[in-house]
Amino acid sequence: MNIIFKNLLQKTANSTCHRTFNRGVANTQAQRQHEHRTVSNEISQIEKSNIGEKSINPLDHPDFFNVRNLVTLEDLFKNRAHYGHVTGMRNPWMNDYIYGHRLNTDIIDLDKTLPMLQNALNFLAHIAYRKGIILFLTRYPQHIPLVEKYAQECSEYAHCRNWEGHFTDIQRLFGYDIRLPDLCIFLHTLHPLNYLHPAVSDSNKMLIPTIALCDTDCNPNIVTYPIPSNDDTPQTIEFYLKLFKQATLNGKIKRKEMEDKGLIEKI
């Protein structure tokens, strides 16, 4: 009986130890699984936040500043953007942007103008978002009040006087180096006497990007973002100035929102 009782106690002890060991292993595995799930969740949250930060980059979005909805084909037509000059004044480089002619007057193809204008507005908003200096230029006397007004309303700059080599001869003019603009917007590329605006060539020399309205007598190849359009009618000029102003404000407002959320640093 003693031997049988001892064997029974030993079996009971062994089974108890086995169950205790298995329970401990099970608890350890459960803890490990819980820790693994916790770490996985933290990693996924970090990855999601990193993806979110990457998606904030404006260059990753086709229309980060929502400027493509600012203008339609109907808006261009109503504001007479399709009017060109007489056929005899046509620049050969503008042939691709002319729809036809009527009563010896060239008609600009607005289907080609619209996407080029939207690309220019998008680029303008990016410059404003990065706090670049934007300079509006014109030499037509009837356009000067409009250009200066809208440049001031979007807190940017305008130059409406005779050009004296301000980009290429700043030491002589100002006596010291100054910061050049990050973008020049030309309401026309030709001087009233049909000579090229000197600031266009100076911008190219200094690698400053340009946006310009190019009528049928202009050369679009010397402009970074040409916009085939009428550049004479005050109504058309004011229409474009409103678009340029709104695109600039969109970029600045977006910058302010990002800074307030702490997504980008304030400069």
DSSP the chain: -HHHHHHHHHHHHHHHHHHHHHHHHHHHHHHHHHHHHHHHHHHHHHHHHHHHHHHT-GGGSTTTT--TTS--HHHHHHTTTTEEEEGGG--GGGGGGEEEEETTEEEE-HHHHHHHHHHHHHHHHHHHHTT--EEEE---GGGHHHHHHHHHHTT-EEE-S----TTT-HHHHHSS--PPPSEEEES-SB-TTSPBPHHHHHHHHTT--EEEEE-TTS-GGG-SEEEES--S-HHHHHHHHHHHHHHHHHHHHHHHHHHHTTSS---
Of residues 208 and 163, the one with the higher pLDDT is: 208
Q: Which residues contact 132 (CB under 8 A, 6 or more apart)?
A: 181, 182, 183
> Scanning the structure block, which residue is given the tokens 């204008």?
117
- pLDDT class of 183 with cuts at 50, 70, 90: very high
Tens digits of residue pLDDT in 30-72: 555 555 555 455 434 434 444 344 447 888 898 999 999 999 9
Does 102 have pLDDT greater than 60?
yes
Does 162 have pLDDT greater than 60?
yes
The two beta strands, 105-108 and 83-86, are antiparallel
pLDDT at 35: 53
Q: What is the mean pLDDT of the chain?
A: 84
pLDDT at 33: 58
pLDDT at 136: 98
Does 214 have pLDDT greater than 70?
yes
In the structure encoding, which two tokens stand for residue 11, read together? 């079996």
183 vs 224: CA distance, rounded Å: 10
161 vs 139: CA distance, rounded Å: 7
pLDDT at 75: 97
The two beta strands, 210-214 and 225-228, are parallel
The percent of residues above 90 in pLDDT, for the chain, comes to: 63
The percent of residues above 70 in pLDDT, for the chain, comes to: 79
Average pLDDT over residues 159-175: 86
Tens digits of residue pLDDT in 29-41: 555 555 555 545 5
Give the Cβ contact number of residue 136 at 10 Å.
Answer: 27
Average pLDDT over residues 97-109: 94
Q: Letter for the amino acid at 13? A: A
152 vs 174: CA distance, rounded Å: 23
Residue 106 near residue 98 (C-beta atoms within 8 A) = yes
pLDDT at 264: 83
Name all domains of the chain by residue range, CATH numbers in brackets: 110-260 (3.40.50.10490)
Average pLDDT over residues 214-223: 95
Average pLDDT over residues 222-234: 95
Residue 107 near residue 80 (C-beta atoms within 8 A) = no
